Amino acid sequence: MNDRAFVEEQIASIRETVGNGIAINALSGGVDSSVVTVLGHRSLGDRLKTVFIDNALMRKGEPEQVVKIFSKMRIPVQLVDARAEFLSALKGLTDPEEKRHAVTHTFYSKVFGRLVRQTGATFLLHGTILTDIEETVAGIKRQHNILAQVGIDPEKEYGYKVLEPLQTLRKDGVRRVAKILGLPAEITKRIPFPGPALATRIVGEVTEERLEIVREATAIVEKKLAKTRAFQYMAVLLKDKATGIRENKREFGQIIVVRCINSVDARTATPTKLSWEKLHRISKQITSIKGVNRCLYDLTPKPPATIEYI
């Protein structure tokens, strides 16, 4: 099926399934949820309620930026502040799957459950793509947005039905559809950013203080590597610490890993060859973040590594 036919078919299908009902969807600003927002909006108009949930795990200035981009397209987005709920759900957790579960549960059950009751929505439009389903089913990783495929019945557990219009597409397909829908380049060209957001960029416990460090490092890496046109680039805060020297004093400081990879669909990936000078500049800036005294560059392809660290 060509991409335009795909768009028409999905719009018709969402209209038919939702009927006169109300649907809700969570926008993160990533290309998947952005495409779902536009498809849903074209299908249902103001019977689609789009929310941006601030989970405390977003990048610098991200919530406001995303709301602004969509308001330019005349799609209203409600910003929901759920920072405290997510931080408290993540408190004390260090196991990757437990952290993912905490984010999923807080998102779908607590925050979303409440929003669904408030809006009267009976359908959730969801940006699940084929790769998410495949990796979860294969047991590689529980992607945050997978429900039915891991035996969760959202209607029974959370009180709403889930529609997944992108479940036959991979990332490259979603980007093509995004262009057809007229989404701006800042969305279509956006590098992938996972649902559990900066929680996947912190090995070990997620705290406000550690989020602040990785948020700062992420801003540096994204700015410095924007021109590489790599598939994805990121900063990761490790759980270990290392000895260093700051202002002539010994410091047991944090370690940030920089990862920059090339990939077509995230199923496999290879590290990007960056110039020594660029790596030096990044390292210098990252180690100027308070408490960070080491910066490493990750040379591992996928497999054996995954792209994210948790």
> Which residues form the interface with ligand XMP (CB under 6 A)?
135, 141, 143-145, 192, 194-196, 200, 232, 266, 302, 306-308
CB 45, min distance to ligand XMP, A: 26
CB 308, min distance to ligand XMP, A: 3
Distance CA 187, CA 31 (A): 6
CB 37, min distance to ligand XMP, A: 15
CB 224, min distance to ligand XMP, A: 19
Q: Given the complex with ligand XMP, which of 28 and 287 has the nearer CB atom?
A: 28
Q: Given the complex with ligand XMP, which of 10 and 232 has the nearer CB atom?
A: 232
Q: Given the complex with ligand XMP, which of 173 and 192 has the nearer CB atom?
A: 192
Q: Given the complex with ligand XMP, which of 41 and 144 has the nearer CB atom?
A: 144
CB 47, min distance to ligand XMP, A: 25
Distance CA 217, CA 137 (A): 33
Q: Given the complex with ligand XMP, which of 122 and 262 has the nearer CB atom?
A: 262
Which two structure tokens, joined as six digits, stand for 54? 């601030």
Q: Given the complex with ligand XMP, which of 12 and 264 has the nearer CB atom?
A: 264
In residues, how long is the chain? 310
Q: Given the complex with ligand XMP, which of 242 and 296 has the nearer CB atom?
A: 296
CB 288, min distance to ligand XMP, A: 26
CB 225, min distance to ligand XMP, A: 15
